[in-house]
Amino acid sequence: MKNILLFVVSTLFSLYVSGQDLEQISLPVNTTTKQIGLISNINLGNIVASNNGQIGIKTTQSFLSYKFKKRTGKIIFEVPAATEILATGLNTKARTKNRIEWNFDAQQENQYKLYIATASDSAKNFIVYSGYIYFPSINKWKLIASFKINGSTESISAASLFKSASFSTNVDELFTDIWSQGDNGSWNKVQNTGLQKPVLPPFSDIDSLKRAESDITIIDHAIKNNETDAINLKKGLYYTLMKTSVSNELVKITDTVTIFYKGYLMGTDIVFDQTSNEPRTFPLGRLIKGWQVGLEGAKVGEKVKLLIPSGLAYSIRTRSPMIPPNSILVFEIEIVSTKPSSK
């Protein structure tokens, strides 16, 4: 071992995960702030081609691993205490209620990133765990699954790396650039050889085109069955005008807007965010694409309902415990005022 010995607990022990004898090395998770994410490069180019086995990252409540046999690869995401599957990537398979797998071409890349993200709700006492894999050559992420655990808000208080005991390759050659993420959004170095911090681009989903087709099918079905009145289409966004205005003042994409709003999941009464007695103010250009498309050109004083496909909302991100990845969102927004953003 080289640099990693500066960061990991030196005890190496065996465990049994997903049907294989594995060796595990504990990672020193920063506990001064709540840690909500864990990400690591895995380097398959350092594994002998004839080897079969499994490598991955682990928290106290989840396992995310790459399992391969000859030329076939499989990503496994497991949350043993899961009570519900909230979302899955396309073409994944549910082996149990708490384990999702995805088969793919194992020769596609020599290096990937594995990412575990969490979001918790202390008031309702539950937490969401999501697992992802990243493909460097195409700069795309793949959601494997999101699970919900009721009765727990424990995020990442402990973490480790694991590999098949049969691999002779050193752990610091298999895993590099390991980071944990605090609940304030900051990334904390666990073990890394580079300076660039991890980024989860909001619209870099490998399934985005097929997911968009699926969203359109769901929305068209809702329109045909009179389940929504947001039937007008604008740049991929569905909307309706709830209240008109005689104002000549129009919202520009570069403006800062003051609004009342309510946001909920399509087809449900689950409100994940809303204003109360006072409006809120936002630079429009910093908000999700669906808001930018829906509010640009609207009149001050109007109230609109925006039906936003997931690709124009939060896509595959684990944005909050109330918004599962790939959610179609509905916002009712009343525009109080608008002004040019200060530079």
- pLDDT: which is higher, 69 or 110: 110
pLDDT tens digits, residue range 260-272?
999 999 999 889 9
pLDDT value of position 53 = 85
The number of beta carbons lying within 10 Å of the beta carbon of residue 317 is 23
- Greatest alpha-carbon pair distance for the chain in Å reads 73
pLDDT value of position 9 = 33
Given a cut of 60, is residue 7 above it in pLDDT? no
Closest to 61 measured CA to CA, from 149, 168, 178, 187: 149
pLDDT value of position 122 = 94
Given a cut of 70, is residue 132 above it in pLDDT? yes
Confidence of residue 13 (pLDDT cuts 50, 70, 90): very low
Alpha-carbon distance of 232 to 167, in angstroms, equals 57
pLDDT value of position 10 = 33
The average pLDDT across 21-26 equals 83
Query: Chain-wide mean pLDDT for the chain?
Result: 87
pLDDT value of position 40 = 92
Alpha-carbon distance of 163 to 22, in angstroms, equals 5
Alpha-carbon distance of 236 to 221, in angstroms, equals 16
pLDDT value of position 22 = 79
pLDDT value of position 184 = 86
Could you give the percent of the chain with pLDDT greater than 90?
64
Domains defined along the chain, listed by start:
3-191 (2.60.120), 208-340 (3.10.50.40)
pLDDT value of position 44 = 81
Closest to 178 measured CA to CA, from 73, 58, 20, 279: 58
Secondary structure of the chain in HEC code, one letter for each residue: CCHHHHCCCCCCEEEEECCEEEEEEEECCCCCCCEEEEEEEEEHHHCCCCCCEEEEEEECCEEEEEEEECCEEEEEEECCCCCEEEEECCCCEEEECCEEEEEEECCCCCEEEEEEEEEEECCCCEEEEEEEEEECCCCEEEEEEEEEEECCCCCCCCEEEEEECCCCCCHHHHEEEEEEEECCCCEEEEECCCCCCCCCCCCCECCHHHHHHHHHHHHHHHHHCCCCCCCEEECCEEEEEEECCCCCCECCCCEEEEEEEEEEECCCCCEEEECCCCCEEEEHHHCCHHHHHHHCCCECCCEEEEEECHHHCCCCCCCECCECCCCCEEEEEEEEEEEECCC
pLDDT value of position 229 = 96
Alpha-carbon distance of 326 to 144, in angstroms, equals 12
Amino acid symbol at 323:
I
User: Whole-model pTM?
Assistant: 0.89
pLDDT tens digits, residue range 174-187?
888 888 999 888 88
The average pLDDT across 238-257 equals 96
